[in-house]
């Protein structure tokens, strides 16, 4: 009895993927949920786990193949792997002579990449796939590159004794995707950051007063993120361009708020999205943040859960950051950076008092968000947090 391994749902607007890497080969034993292969799309990388335990009997889609949703990738036979036949052990010796030809086959470019290169008369594209294979994304990057001069600078010379103490580790697909998206954001958007600070006295007092009751009733802790989410939703209603995006020569205004909550994981930064955050209560927001945060840490977020965001909140304060400028999460036009709460002397009504203060940073796309709108947004967030009653009365 055999089980089919098929391409999973790839998320909104994604209809095909390229098989990047096979972690298993025919004859290998696989366990349930053990990673079989990695697929690359225009947006993210998807790992395909084994649905059953058994032996990988056949690979249908080879590395570099372009596959659609639900396409057959492989077959898994039930039961443990059979002992490797003697002929298989002798394979390396038998094929030692034609090694150059085999190597040439290993680095064959992805079909989708070859098609794009032919259509655009490209011949020299640097590949980032296995063994230097040119992937579709590499060709798209080459087409988007303004000039060859934009290539990365060569690595600085390193003395032999220092080189021996270095460790070279290949970037994960997630880290490569993060690097590309953030650099694309800088190259595309007219990014600017404006700052303000907020007195967290009232939010902290409200949280301390109701946190036990909140936990008892809703089964989730009352954190600061729900206050910031609510404050941002409140501000986005007044400054809708911060919740919009550019599509060609059009501006698309979103009459809803899908809030991205940036989360650090051992493998890199991810941004799970809380859909329709503007329709949620404090408790619903906290539950959604807790659920998505746990999935992010366990590496179980689906692509659908990281797509469709209209605005993002990033909390560098949990790591001790006092002030920073967050980078936009394209195609969004705004991202709020939270920072560490720190007691500082403040002048209040002519007197110097100690208050728990936090710096806020709003990075925005100046192509559609003017300075007035950005400052107004940040001031509204500040006002809502310094007097949370304004959120209840929509003031």
CA distances for 147 relative to 122, 138, 152, angstroms: 13, 15, 12
What does residue 53 show for φ and ψ, rounded to 5 degrees? -95, 140
Inter-CA distances, 383 with 111, 201, 214, 360, Å? 55, 12, 24, 12
In the block, tokens 């007219």 appear at 190
Among the listed residues 49, 54, 43, the one whose alpha carbon sits nearest the alpha carbon of residue 16: 43
Contact partners, residue 316, CB within 8 Å, separation at least 6: 324, 326, 337, 338, 339, 340
Cβ pair 308, 12 in contact under 8 A: yes
- Cβ atoms of 34 and 52 closer than 8 Å: no
**218 labelled catalytic:** no
Name the catalytic one among 42, 184, 218, 366. 366
For 200-241, list the strands marked E by DSSP: none
- Interatomic CA distance for residues 305 and 287, integer angstroms: 15
Q: Tell me if residue 70 is catalytic.
A: no
H or E element at residue 291? helix 282-298
Neighbours of 123 (CB within 10 A): 6
Given the residues 33, 212, 276, 370, select the one marked as catalytic. 370
**331 prior amide bond cis, ω within 30:** yes
How far, in Å, CA of 43 to CA of 29, rounded?
Answer: 31
H/E element, 361: strand 351-365
**Cβ 121 vs Cβ 143: under 8 Å:** no
Q: Are the CB atoms for 226 and 388 separated by under 8 Å?
A: no
Q: Give me the active site residues, please.
A: 366, 370
């Amino acid at each position: 009895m055999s089980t089919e391994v098929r391409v999973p749902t790839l998320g909104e607007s994604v209809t095909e993927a390229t098989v990047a890497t096979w972690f298993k080969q025919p004859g290998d034993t696989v366990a349930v949920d053990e990673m079989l292969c990695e697929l690359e799309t225009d947006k993210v990388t998807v790992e395909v786990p084994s649905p059953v335990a058994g032996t990988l009997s056949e690979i249908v889609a080879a590395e570099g193949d372009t596959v659609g949703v639900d396409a057959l990738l492989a077959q898994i036979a039930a039961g443990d792997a059979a002992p490797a036949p003697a002929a298989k052990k002798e394979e390396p010796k038998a094929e030692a002579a034609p090694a150059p030809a085999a190597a040439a086959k290993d680095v064959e470019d992805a079909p989708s990449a070859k098609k794009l290169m032919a259509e655009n008369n490209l011949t020299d594209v640097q590949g980032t796939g296995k063994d230097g294979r040119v992937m579709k994304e590499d060709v798209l990057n080459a087409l988007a590159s303004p000039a060859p001069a934009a290539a990365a600078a060569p690595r600085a010379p390193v003395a032999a004794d220092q080189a021996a103490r270095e460790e070279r580790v290949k970037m994960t697909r997630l880290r490569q995707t993060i690097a590309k998206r953030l650099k694309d954001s800088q190259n595309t958007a007219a990014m600017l950051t404006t700052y303000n600070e907020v007195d967290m006295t009232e939010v902290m007092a409200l949280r301390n007063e109701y946190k036990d009751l909140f936990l008892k009733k809703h089964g989730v802790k009352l954190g600061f993120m729900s206050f910031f989410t609510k404050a941002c939703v409140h501000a986005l209603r007044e400054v809708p361009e911060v919740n919009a995006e550019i599509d060609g020569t059009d501006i698309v205004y979103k009459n809803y708020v899908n809030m991205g909550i940036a989360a650090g994981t051992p493998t890199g930064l991810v941004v799970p999205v809380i859909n329709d955050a503007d329709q949620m209560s404090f408790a619903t927001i906290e539950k959604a943040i807790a659920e998505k945060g746990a999935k992010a840490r366990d590496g179980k977020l689906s692509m659908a859960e990281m797509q469709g965001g209209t605005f993002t909140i990033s909390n560098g304060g949990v790591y001790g950051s006092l002030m920073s400028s967050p980078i936009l999460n394209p195609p969004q036009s705004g991202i709020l950076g939270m920072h560490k709460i720190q007691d500082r002397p403040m002048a209040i009504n002519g007197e110097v008092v100690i208050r728990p203060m936090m710096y806020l940073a709003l990075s925005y796309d100046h192509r559609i968000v003017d300075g007035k709108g950005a400052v107004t947004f940040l001031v509204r967030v500040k006002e809502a947090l310094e007097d949370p009653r304004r959120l209840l009365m929509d003031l």
